[in-house]
Amino acid sequence: MSSPAERPDRIWDSGLQPERTSLAWQRVNLAGLGASLVSARLVVEAHPVIGYTLAALSAVIAGVVTVLHSRRLVRTISALFSGALLPDGRVHVLLVGLLVLIAAGGLVFLTGATG
């Protein structure tokens, strides 16, 4: 038997709030990935190893967030239908990690540009 989240004929909210929230977080994830890759590109010229490491870590974090968030949406919709507790927001800590990588890349770029 399929879960309510896998059945397209049933929606929990006519405004599609869980789906809209999920799309918003996906946009944040993509924006964070784009910004971190731009940051990595700037760092590569001054510190190639740090720049490539930053790019690889950013891609991995963005991929993990995408997978975890899609699973979280399924759990959220199932919880809404069953009246259970909603999943926590631990996956969003990874997005904070992505933002920290962007900031670290900016600091490395600034120290390389002024030094």
pLDDT for the residue 1: 45
Judge whether 10 lies within some domain.
no
Residue-wise pLDDT for 60-97, tens only, equals 888 888 888 888 888 888 888 888 887 787 888 888 88
What's the pLDDT band for 29 if we cut at 50, 70, 90? confident
Residue 4 is assigned to a structural domain of this protein: no
**For residue 35, is it within any domain?**
yes
Cα–Cα distance for residue pair 41/64, rounded to 1 Å: 21
Q: Are 54 and 105 in contact (CB under 8 A)?
A: yes
Task: State the pLDDT confidence band at 8, using cuts at 50, 70 and 90.
Answer: very low
Measured in degrees and rounded to the nearest 5, phi and psi for residue 8 equal -70, -15
Full domain range(s) for residue 108: 16-114
- C-alpha 58/C-alpha 109 separation (Å) is 16
In a domain, 83, yes or no: yes
Give tens-digit pLDDT for 92-110: 888 888 888 888 888 888 8
